[in-house]
Amino acid sequence: MLPAPRSNSGRCPPINFYTAEDLDNQLEIAAKGFINGAEVNIVPEKNLLELSPIFRWYKPDFGGDRQGILQTLLRYLDPGDAREFVKYKDRGARIVWKDYDWRLNR
């Protein structure tokens, strides 16, 4: 499963219609936008990962444990400091679950 909700972060491309012939690509775009948007906040200086509760609610879809969630983040995070932190230095990082904005479900 790929996280494919629409995000109000402004970075997630709004895919209003998914098509059978391009579904895999569209889900990849949505997942990348979701993980690089407001739903994931990586704060290396505080040794902290602030994540959408979607990762907790659907943990089996993300590998079933912390390591699976981290692998999902690595797959989709843009290159940069946040990705490097998750890749090399997150071992003791604390995960905090963000509040979910239920207004997004309208």
Q: Does a structural domain hold residue 81?
A: yes
The predicted structure's pLDDT at residue 8: 46
pLDDT tens figures, 96-105: 999 988 886 6
- Tell me what pLDDT residue 12 has: 46
Neighbour-count burial for 43-59, b at 16+ CB within 10 Å, e otherwise? eeeeebbbbbebbeeee
**Reported pTM:** 0.79
Residue 65 belongs to some domain of the structure: yes
Please give the Cα distance from 61 to 71 (Å, whole number): 12
Q: Is residue 51 part of a domain?
A: yes
Q: Which of the residue ranges 5-14, 32-41, 67-76 would you say has the lowest mean pLDDT?
A: 5-14
Q: How far is CA 48 from CA 25, 56, 92, in A?
A: 30, 16, 9
Residue 28 within a domain: no
Q: Which residue range forms the structural domain that includes residue 66? A: 42-98
Number of domain units in the chain: 1
Residue 57 has phi, psi (to 5 degrees) of: -65, -35
